[in-house]
Chains A and B, each alone.
Chain A
């Protein structure tokens, strides 16, 4: 592997540019796409060593290369067919007590009814990514 050392990237045609820090700090450091139903399985991932099925709608993602500190950013998403059909909205929650540098624990819940009753739920698609500094 060769290393390109630079401070800035510029598009030749437009002159638009972006600093190297945007790429280094802003790109996803890990991501995963999990089938959280049946015998759960990762469809694809980067920088994930394993996923732990803690119970209904409760998954821990373990990173191979850890984050530097617990102040990293997590983006989560989950859906299944019932969500598409409008049976309620889905929330992906990240427990702050388990926002560990070794990986986040993600809780998935479905909210239904006029009182928004919260029920933990397994989803066909459970995705997350992290941005921030690596250890």
Chain B
């Protein structure tokens, strides 16, 4: 069952956690068709990482009227722990497409140095269909982000 949150007139006066809690009661989870694979220059010896969107979160993103603007999360990353944060009481944004939601998640849950570093000479992340991620984890700690020919051209 889908519930039109726009009818509920959510606003920034309702804490984000309360909106999430009610959304979980009303929205069916939506498993994503995408994964984000990335490498962190802060951990050069680590294997590449795989970000998996949460199905309940994606349902909220597609529904609209629940999640705060991404700018509030980016501002809050600069706010010290214990100080008031912007995102819990920010005015919710409207519905997103799945692709927009994945871009939102990249900015929210992946360090900025990975997706916004003008000095990088190759992409540090890639959004891929879920089928592109190996399900055999035998050599999980040897996974690396493949360098594509277009990446080398870009670097040159």
Contacts and interface: CB of A to CB of B under 8 A. Distances in A.
Contacts of A56: 137, 140-141
Contact of B141 (A40, A55, A66): A55
B140 A55 contact: yes
B51 interface: yes
B59 to A, nearest CB: 11
A48 interface: yes
Contacts of B116: none
B135 A55 contact: no
Contact of A65 (B17, B31, B105): B17
A53 B135 contact: no
Given A52-B51, A54-B49, A66-B76, A45 B56 contact: yes
A7 B22 CA distance: 23
Which bracket fits the contact residues of A? 20 to 34
A49 B105 contact: yes
A131 interface: no
A135 B88 contact: yes
A1 interface: yes
Most chain A Cβ neighbours within 10 Å, of B18, B52, B77, B133: B52
B22 A47 contact: no
B109 interface: yes
Given A55-B47, A56-B137, A56-B140, A65 B54 contact: no
Interface string A45-85: 11111111111100000101110111000000000000000
B104 to A, nearest CB: 9
Contact of A50 (B29, B46, B47, B53): B53
Contacts of B46: 54-55
Interface of A: 1, 29, 32, 37-42, 44-56, 62, 64-66, 68-70, 101-102, 122, 134-135
8 contacts: A1-B8, A49-B53, A50-B52, A53-B50, A56-B141, A65-B16, A69-B82, A102-B77
